[in-house]
Amino acid sequence: MIGLVGRKLAEAALVALIVSVATFLLTTWTGDLAISIGGLGASREELDRLRVTHGLDRPLLVQYLDWAGRALTGDLGRSFFSQEDVAPLILSRLPVTATLAVCSIAVGVALAFPLGIAAALRQGSWVDTLAQSIAALSQAMPSFWSGLLLILLFGVTLQALPISGADDWSSFVMPSLALGWFVFPILLRLLRAGMVETLGADYIRTARAKGLSRRRIVLRHALRNAVLPVVSLAAVQFGQLLGGSVVVESVFALPGIGQLAWHAIQRADYPVVQAIVLFVALIFVAMNLVADLINGALDPRIRRP
Amino acid sequence: MSAPVLAVEDLRVELATAVGGLKAVRGVSFAIARGETFALVGESGSGKSMTALALLDLLPRNARRSVGTLRLDGVEIGALPEPALRRLRGNAAAMVFQEPMTALNPVLTIGEQMTEGLLTHMPETPTVVAARRAVDLLARCGVGEPERRLLQFPHELSGGLRQRVMIATALMTGPRLLIADEPTTALDVTVQAQILDLLRELQRDLDLAILFITHDLALVRRFAARVGVMYAGRIVESGPTAAVVEAPSHPYTRRLLACAPSLAAPRGHRLGFLSGLPPRLLCTPVGCQFRARCDVAGDACATDPPLRESAGGVAYECIHPPSEIAVRGPDMRSPPPTGAEARAGAPDAEAASAAPLLRAHGITVTYRLRGGFLARATTLTAVRDASLEIPPGRVLGLVGESGSGKSTLARVVLGLETPQAGQVTIGGMALGTLDRRARARAVQPVFQDPYTSLNPRRTIGEIVRAPLDILGLHARDERAEVAAAMLERCGLPRHMLGAYPVQLSGGQRQRVAIARALVSGPRLVVCDEPTSALDVSIQSQILNLLQDLQASLGLTYLFISHNLAVVRHLAHRVAVMHRGVLVETGDAEQIFADPQHAYTRQLIAAARG
């Protein structure tokens, strides 16, 4: 297991390096930074001066090393717009997004597991049809729409929950439902397919022949195998959620990372955009690493090949 | 005699399918006494596994069983509800399944899987006591380091060890009845012999009643005192094994026995065969279900056959008395057809003196096993310094167990694998110097699994014709006719040209695979386990076909099999492979009569039992 952790960490570090290069090139090549800073009306001399003061005249490699070196020490530059340091800016938005991500994935898992297991156990029955219909419906509903419906019901009609802001726990109920509702169908499908497959496996027949209880056969023998790919997917989805949901954060006016990204893109605030892209990519790498490690812990064939 | 451990009467199983109810088991009755082994033998689809699963109602969800009487230890259990049945499963009666690779849960430890049954049935048992019993039973079943095994996972054990674990697990609760469904089918022949020895020992020591399900008649002869032969959902013949095997009464049993190549039969004889396929058991089948394939069948067979008694306590279901079957049955061990005599006799002077068609010299194949990204690579030598020769028009049988490197060597001969050392020449030309077309003209393969070796989206006609198109043989407008003629020669009617592989049975598909291999007129054919996926009666058809084609077309075969009887039946010379090394090569007669290498002796002993 220690060997596996070391190997996966080394792999993750290598991916992170590649990601940082890609992020850097992405923002350098998508436009002239001097124009973004100086504005379209800036004169040629002004632009040249901006290039020198921001070091944009240096070779690309030097610029990258400079940027990456400072990023490693936590210095991700300053916002062109507000002149704030970018790193604290992102960190200040993280608690909102992280809370939302945790609650959303919890909602998704809480919906997907019972429905997925029930559907697989009664494959082809009305339970299965119902579960799959709910999944299809949920996948067909964009989260801004389900968010608006929630606002109409709980916020406007019942006046039970706040419709915007992030003041206390009640502010997170509707956004989490909207996002959880959005992530659950894929989890459900994967779990159902996995359960159907493992329930037909030879070792399930062996378990039945041993006279084990149905509960033990389903939870210990079947689910333990079917859950492996679901864990990987849930980790990746969690990474996606940690990157912030632009749509849901906008609908509920949550001051999270998604909202920050949206505003930064609108204002061509390159240091902020670059930092968020890097942050999201690194979260992804980290979540894949976590998924690999959880799978290693759950699956002896990975842990002890 | 005390009451039997298991007594079954009129067991029926019906499967719900898209086209209606399929009567998989149609009134099966038998009994097994303490310390006795009763074998149910039959081909795929005969209902033998369904019978085994139906006893404790472990059937798939689309199956329904009904049973006249079903007594376990004298207690009627046929009408028990699910919770009561669950208390019997793995307790009074335990099961061992075929695939030790998949029958154990990959993510749970051996220890958990061994003890969970006992802890379910006797929840007051302390875990340490259960673990100690597991250790004892593992040791009893010949598993070394039993304490360490409890913490291991299935993938860390070999197939033979896993099957020992399965057997030990089944014995945890001290069952009276052990139901073993093809317990050795997936294992190598030497491991198979060890597992059978173990079962025999356990049976003697624990006074177990064993229901042994198998397709392998040779195994039954060695292992079971009594046997029931199943066909189309019924036991068509049953009695003491010796009587059934030595003097079969039912026409099906007679045919089936004649189909199986044996280590005892004279070499080079023609195998008996069964034409046609078993019936599909939809609607309510009436009359003898074997009559369509039976050569003594008459009008009377359209009514349900009576149960007859013949000598030696054998009962069989057929309207014909034994004398009639014996008289009217054709000679099933007919001599080989003209042209094939040469292969049966001593090596003829011409073949012996001619330059070998295939010469492989010093072949070594090494694989780099990549441990994955950033992991250390290791190497595996699959074939080490292997040399063999086959004269034109002869058959070399290559024998070995799984992982011995025989298929790798076959791939080298086919030019699909480039060896690290050594050279292959076919007809005097080095394989490495031939371009792919010339290579394809010289040598063609027939692979094991006819279900995956044919492109499912091409018609039979297209599949057989493809080599001619690729190699540019014959005039374009003649190719379809050449392909059709080759198919006919391989025993498939012309109307099948437009069919797709999915519409064909396994035996028919293998005929297509053979026709495809031969249509371009190769001199050498590499047959890699060509009959291992087929039932005995179909295997005999394919072996006879390969034998006829070899004789009439003067073909040269490199014939690979794990089945010694099959190799002995077909091959002039035999090469034995063990862990990548050819340990012994010689004349077929001589190798089977007087094996020199210890491993060869071990293989033959294991196959004889």
pLDDT in tens, B490-543: 988 888 889 999 888 888 899 999 999 999 999 999 999 998 888 888 888 899
Least confident of A96-105, B291-300, B338-347: B338-347
Answer with the residue of higher pLDDT: B134 or A59: B134
pLDDT tier at B359 (50, 70, 90 boundaries)?
Answer: very high
Q: What percent of chain A has pLDDT over 90?
A: 36
pLDDT tens column, B247-278: 888 999 988 888 888 887 777 677 887 877 78
pLDDT tier at A242 (50, 70, 90 boundaries)?
Answer: confident
pLDDT tier at B609 (50, 70, 90 boundaries)?
Answer: low
**Which residue, among B100, B96, B102, B99, has the nearest Cα to B117 in the 3D structure?**
B96
8 Å CB contact of B103 and A211: no
8 Å CB contact of A304 and B90: no
Q: With 90 as the cut, is the pLDDT of residue A143 above it? A: no
Q: With 50 as the cut, is the pLDDT of residue B347 above it? A: no
Angle between helices B536-553 and B506-518 (to 10 degrees): 20
Mutation target to probe the A interface, by most A beta carbons within 10 A, among B80, B105, B108 is: B105
Which residues, listed in sequence order, are joined to residue A78 by a DSSP beta bridge?
Answer: A85
Highest mean pLDDT among A11-20, B33-42, B313-322: B33-42
- Residues in contact with A247: Cβ distance below 8 Å, sequence separation at least 6, in sequence order: A142, A143, A144, A147, A258
Q: A-chain residues within 8 Å CB-CB of B109? A: 300
C-alpha dist (Å) from residue A37 to A51, A276, B45: 10, 18, 77
Tell me the nearest-neighbour CA distance from A13 into chain B, angstroms. Answer: 12
Of A208, A228, A298, Cβ closest to residue B89: A208
- What is the token pair recorded at A152? 């109409």
Average pLDDT over residues A204-232: 94
> Which residue carries 């159902």 as its tokens?
A192
ipTM above 0.95, yes or no: no
Average pLDDT over residues B288-309: 87
Q: With 80 as the cut, is the pLDDT of residue B351 above it? A: no
pLDDT at B374: 56
8 Å CB contact of B153 and A11: no
8 Å CB contact of A209 and B105: no
* Residues of A (228-257) whose Cβ lies below 8 Å from B: 228
Q: Is the separation of the CB atoms in B253 and B266 below 8 Å?
A: no
Average pLDDT over residues A9-37: 81
**Closest residue of chain B to A295, computed from CA coordinates:** B107
| A203 touches B: beta carbon within 8 Å | yes
pLDDT at B339: 42
∠ Cα B161 B162 B165 (to 5°): 90
Q: A-chain residues within 8 Å CB-CB of B105? A: 203, 206-207, 221, 224-225
SS3 assignment, position B363: strand
Answer with the residue of higher pLDDT: A55 or B49: B49
pLDDT at B373: 55
pLDDT tens column, A178-214: 999 989 999 999 999 999 999 999 999 999 999 999 9
Q: Is the separation of the CB atoms in B178 and B94 below 8 Å?
A: yes
pLDDT tier at B326 (50, 70, 90 boundaries)?
Answer: low
8 Å CB contact of A210 and B116: yes
pLDDT at B574: 95
pLDDT tier at A19 (50, 70, 90 boundaries)?
Answer: confident
Summary count for chain B: helices (H), strands (E): 22, 22
**Does an H or E element contain B367, and which?**
strand B358-369
pLDDT tier at B371 (50, 70, 90 boundaries)?
Answer: low
CA distance A290 to B421: 45
Would you kindly state where each structural domain of chain B is located, as residue ranges? Answer: 106-172, 343-608
Average pLDDT over residues A85-104: 91
Q: Is the separation of the CB atoms in B98 and B179 below 8 Å?
A: no
Q: With 80 as the cut, is the pLDDT of residue B27 above it? A: yes
pLDDT tier at B21 (50, 70, 90 boundaries)?
Answer: confident
CA distance B600 to B575: 10
* CATH placement of domain B343-608: 3.40.50.300
pLDDT tens column, B145-190: 999 999 999 999 888 889 999 999 999 999 999 999 988 887 888 8
Q: So what CATH class is A87-268?
A: mainly alpha
